[in-house]
Amino acid sequence: MSERTMFPAKGRAREELWAALETMRDGDADWRHGRVPLYVFGSLPEVEAVGRDAYAAYFTENALGARRAFGSLARMEGEVVAMSLDLFQAPQTATGSMTSGGSESILLAVKACREDARRRRGDAAFRGNLVLAETAHPAFDKAARLMDLPVRRVPAGADYRADARAMAAAIDRDTMMLVGSVPCFPFGVIDPIGELSELASSRDLWLHVDACVGGYLAPFARAAGHPVPPFDFALPGVVSMSADLHKFGFCPKPASVVLFRDQQRADGAGFDLDVWPSGRFRTGTLVGTRPGGAVAGAWAVLNYLGRDGYTMIASRLIAMRQAYVEGIEAIAPLRVFGKPDLTIFAFGAPGLDMAGVAKGMETRGWVPGMISRPPGMHMMASLLHEAARADYLADLSAAVAAAPRIQQDSVSAEY
pLDDT tens for each residue of 188-244: 999 999 999 999 999 999 999 999 999 999 999 999 999 999 999 999 999 999 999
CATH number of the CATH domain containing 327: 3.90.1150.10
Task: Render pLDDT for 244-288 as a digit per residue (tens, 0 to 9).
Answer: 999 999 999 999 999 999 999 999 999 999 999 999 999 989 999
Least confident segment among 26-30, 90-94, 99-103? 26-30
The answer to whether position 38 is within a domain reads: no
Q: Which of 303, 328, 363 is the last residue of a domain?
A: 303
Same domain, 233 and 290: yes
CB atoms within 10 A of CB 44: 16
Give me the pLDDT at residue 406, please: 75
Listed residue (347, 313, 321) closest to 333, CA to CA:
347
**314 plus 296 within the same structural domain:** no
Single residue among 277, 303, 329 that ends a domain in this structure: 303
Strands 271-273 and 129-133: unpaired
Q: List the Cα angle 290/296/298 in 5-degree steps.
A: 95
Q: Does one domain contain both 343 and 355? A: yes
Mean predicted confidence (pLDDT) in 108-134: 98
- Section 60-66 average pLDDT: 93
In this structure, the answer to whether residues 313 and 298 fall within a common structural domain is no
Q: Judge whether 409 lies within some domain.
A: no
- Domain co-membership, 70 together with 118: yes
Q: Is 97 within 8 Å of 66 (Cβ atoms)?
A: no
15: in domain? no
Give the C-alpha distances (Å, rounded to integers) separating 1 from 4, 5, 192. 9, 12, 50
* Same domain flag for 135 and 154: yes
Question: Looking at the domain assignment, is residue 128 inside a domain?
Answer: yes
State pTM to two decimals.
0.95
Q: Please indicate, yes or no, whether residues 395 and 271 belong to a single structural domain of this protein.
A: no
139 shares its domain with 241: yes
Q: What CATH number is given to the structural domain containing 61?
A: 3.40.640.10
Query: Torsions phi, psi of 210, nearest 5?
Result: -90, 95
- Residue 407 scores a pLDDT above 90: no
9 in any annotated domain: no
Annotate the chain with three-state secondary structure. CCCCCCCCCCCCCHHHHHHHHHHHHCCCCCHHHCCCCCCCCCCCHHHHHHHHHHHHHCCCCEHHHCCCCCHHHHHHHHHHHHHHHHHCCCCCCCEEEEECCHHHHHHHHHHHHHHHHHHHHCCCCCCCEEEEECCCCCHHHHHHHHHCCCEEEECCCCCCCCCHHHHHHHCCCCEEEEEEECCCCCCCCCCCHHHHHHHHHHHCCEEEEECCCCCCCHHHHHHCCCCCCCCCCCCCCEEEEEEECCCCCCCCCCCEEEEECCHHHHHHHCEEECCCCCCCEEECCCCCCCEHHHHHHHHHHHHHHHHHHHHHHHHHHHHHHHHHHHHHHCCCCCEECCCCCCCEEEEECCCCCHHHHHHHHHHCCCCCEEECCCCEEEEECCHHHCCCHHHHHHHHHHHHHHCCCCCCCCCCCCC
Position 408 pLDDT exceeds 60: no
> Is there a contact between 404 and 72 (Cβ–Cβ < 8 Å)?
no
In a domain, 7, yes or no: no
Whole-Å CA distances, 353 to 186, 349, 369, 402 = 19, 8, 15, 10
High-pLDDT (> 90) share of the chain, %: 95
With bands split at pLDDT 50, 70 and 90, how would you rate the model's confidence at 414? Answer: low
Asked if 284 and 379 sit in the same domain, the reply is no
Indicate the number of domains in the chain.
2
Kindly report the average pLDDT of the chain as a whole number.
95
> Assign residue 311 a region: left if phi > 0, alpha if psi is -120 to 50, beta otherwise?
alpha
What is the span of the domain harbouring residue 222?
52-303
Please indicate, yes or no, if residue 357 is contained in any of the structural domains.
yes
**Residues 290, 388 within the same domain:** no
d(CA 221, CA 313): 9
Residue 367 has a pLDDT of 96
- Give the Cα separation of 87 and 221 in Å (integer): 13
Residues 312, 283 within the same domain: no
Evaluate if residue 395 carries a pLDDT over 90.
yes
| Residues contacting residue 364 through CB under 8 Å, at least 6 positions apart | 395, 398, 399
108 and 145 co-located in one domain: yes
Region 178-195 average pLDDT: 98
- To 5 degrees, how large is the angle CA 40–CA 42–CA 48? 105
pLDDT for 372: 94
pLDDT for the residue 412: 52
In the prediction, which pLDDT does 389 show?
Answer: 98
The reported pLDDT for the residue numbered 170 is 98
Residue 155 has pLDDT above 60, yes or no: yes
Task: State the average pLDDT over residues 325-351.
Answer: 97
What average pLDDT does the segment 309-323 reach? 98
Q: How far apart are CA 221 and CA 26, in angstroms?
A: 36
Of the three residues 282, 303, 324, the one that is the final residue of a domain is 303
| Predicted local distance difference test score (pLDDT) of residue 2 | 74
188: left (phi over 0), alpha (psi -120 to 50) or beta: left
Residue 6 in any domain: the answer is no
pLDDT average, residue stretch 339-361: 97
CA distance 163 to 157: 5
CB-based contact 377:392 (threshold 8 Å): no
Sheet holding 238-244, edge to edge: 95-99, 256-260, 238-244, 206-210, 175-181, 129-133, 151-154
